[in-house]
Amino acid sequence: MSEDCLFCKIIAGEIPSKKVYEDDFCYAFDDIEPEAPVHTLVVPKKHFADLQTGPTEEDLGRLMATVPEVAKIKGVYESGYRAVVNVGPDSAQTVQHLHVHILGGIKMGRFTFEGSARE
């Protein structure tokens, strides 16, 4: 656990969350400011600041393998969903604890940028 980490506090139950799924490695909960009808975060219980800071291939495998399981629980496994990992300043990552966003329940456009590079 990292002292000043919001998601570590959520995993520890010190800050309330709407739990969707939990096992020995992962915790999943609904995003507090949903950007789609389904917007759930899947996080490893171990603290990693981001995708490229600390997690092993096994950690990443376990995290990503949990995503379809959570999608099933949220009812978007068949309809489809987007799994997003923000990394670093240009991605607008705001919480420095590795997490996968599951977004679904709506027909999505391709990607969203402040200024798309695609003409």
Known catalytic residue at 47 = no
Residue 76 CA to residue 22 CA, distance in Å, equals 18
Q: Which region, judged by CB under 6 A, interacts with ligand AMP, from 51-59, 64-72, 90-98, 104-112?
A: 90-98
Note the residues at the interface with Zn ion (CB under 5 A).
2, 5, 7-8, 47, 97
Nearest partner of 12 among 3, 21, 35, judged by Cα: 3
CB-CB neighbours of 39 under 10 Å: 20
How many residues touch ligand AMP (CB under 6 A)?
A: 12
**What would the x/- binding string for ligand AMP be over residues 36 to 75, using CB under 6 A?**
----------------------------------------
> Taking CB under 6 A as the rule, does residue 12 contact ligand AMP?
no
Q: What angle do CA 30, 32, 35 make, to 5 degrees?
A: 85
